[in-house]
């Protein structure tokens, strides 16, 4: 607990700084007092990072609390992070679809593909990233405030680079449509409708976080049929996301899209397993039959 003198010792490198605080102060309050420069940082106690909503008097400390901080370097807010990651692929793909000069041969500049599936793929890709931008602005609630700038650069290179690669081949003048023609495209469109499920799960998770940080619950299925996947997996938003890109891969029959889908599936599986472990540790009554991302499998 905080000492009777209402003082908190903060360890700064090899020096100590004493700041006057109340026992009911949160980590966010201390950050506000300590934030004398423009750097971003995180507080730690005995090797564990402290959340902003944690109260000093509830921490397992003695009469004097000694907290350590680590400089996190340049940061950007999560809204800006997602806007940067998603706006890039949206615009880059359209550059290839409209065949701006110097992308393909000059005679193909501002021309259009004779294959309807190319226009359909552009519509699906555009819809996907517009949906992501809308969710970023109006739906998502972010638990963490910022992301390191170097991580943002890496993510943008990944999203933007893959978008350019797959767009180059799908919109190429020599592109050939799927082997099984219209039937293959129709099946792909049905699978691509996983977009509705992905949005439903994001909306459900946003509503769950609406109770505030102190209202800790794990997600449950609702009357929305798309949320019934919560019966079987912990992160159905990733399940639906994989379904979206599987459908896009079948629709375009393009190797770069398949590779992007595979890499995304691996990464989302890692995230889903981490979230699943967090749920099982935090909630004793968490359903044991739920899997991280694929029902009954993974």
| 171 and 226 share one domain | no
Report the pLDDT averaged over residues 69-78.
Answer: 63
pLDDT digits (tens, 9 = 90+) for 195-243: 999 999 999 988 876 554 455 688 899 999 999 999 999 999 999 999 9
Per-residue pLDDT for 45 more than 60? no
Average pLDDT, the chain: 82
Domain boundary among 46, 73, 100: 73
Give Cα 38 to chain centroid, integer Å.
26
Helix (H, G, I), strand (E, B) or coil at 88: helix
| 39 and 94 share one domain | no
Domain boundary among 123, 143, 176: 176
Domain boundary among 21, 43, 73: 73
Q: Tell me, what's the pLDDT at 64?
A: 61
**Which of residues 256 and 64 earns the better pLDDT score?**
256
Q: Are 251 and 124 in contact (CB under 8 A)?
A: yes
**Would residue 169 count as lying in a domain?**
yes
Domain range for 93: 75-176
| 69 and 119 share one domain | no
Looking at the 3D structure of the chain, how many domains does it have?
A: 3
Per-residue pLDDT for 55 more than 80? no
Q: Tell me, what's the pLDDT at 68?
A: 64
CA distance 208 to 215: 9
Structure tokens at 297: 């499998």
Q: Are 9 and 65 in contact (CB under 8 A)?
A: yes
Rg (CA), the chain: 24
Report the pLDDT averaged over residues 273-287.
Answer: 91
**Would residue 285 count as lying in a domain?**
yes
Q: Tell me, what's the pLDDT at 62?
A: 56
Most confident of 3-7, 24-28, 53-57, 151-155: 151-155
pTM reported for the whole predicted model? 0.79
| 69 and 82 share one domain | no
pLDDT digits (tens, 9 = 90+) for 164-185: 999 999 999 999 999 999 999 9
């Amino acid at each position: 607990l905080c000492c009777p003198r209402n003082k908190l010792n903060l360890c700064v490198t090899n020096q100590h700084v004493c700041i006057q605080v109340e026992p009911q102060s949160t980590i966010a309050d201390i950050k506000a007092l300590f934030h004398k420069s423009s750097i971003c940082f995180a507080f730690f106690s005995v090797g564990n990072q402290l959340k902003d909503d944690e109260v000093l008097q509830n921490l397992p400390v003695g009469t004097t609390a000694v907290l350590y901080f680590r400089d996190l370097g340049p940061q950007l807010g999560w809204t800006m992070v997602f806007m940067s990651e998603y706006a890039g692929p949206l615009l880059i793909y359209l550059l290839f679809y409209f065949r701006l000069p110097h992308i393909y041969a000059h005679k193909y500049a501002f021309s259009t593909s004779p294959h309807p599936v190319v226009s359909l793929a552009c519509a699906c890709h555009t819809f996907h990233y517009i949906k992501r931008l809308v969710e970023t602005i109006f739906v998502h609630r972010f638990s963490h405030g910022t992301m390191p700038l170097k991580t943002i650069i890496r993510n943008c290179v990944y999203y933007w680079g893959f978008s350019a690669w797959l767009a180059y081949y799908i919109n190429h003048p020599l592109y050939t449509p799927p082997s099984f023609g219209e039937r293959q495209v129709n099946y792909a469109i049905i699978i691509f409708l996983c977009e509705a499920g992905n949005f439903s799960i994001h909306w459900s998770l946003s509503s769950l976080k609406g109770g505030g940080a102190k209202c800790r619950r794990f997600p449950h299925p609702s009357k929305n049929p798309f949320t019934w996947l919560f019966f079987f997996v912990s992160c159905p938003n990733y399940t639906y996301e994989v379904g979206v890109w599987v459908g896009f891969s079948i629709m375009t029959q393009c190797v770069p899209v398949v590779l992007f889908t595979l890499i995304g599936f691996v990464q989302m599986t890692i995230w889903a397993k981490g979230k699943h472990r967090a749920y099982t540790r935090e909630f004793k009554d968490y359903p044991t039959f739920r899997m991280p991302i694929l029902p009954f499998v993974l």
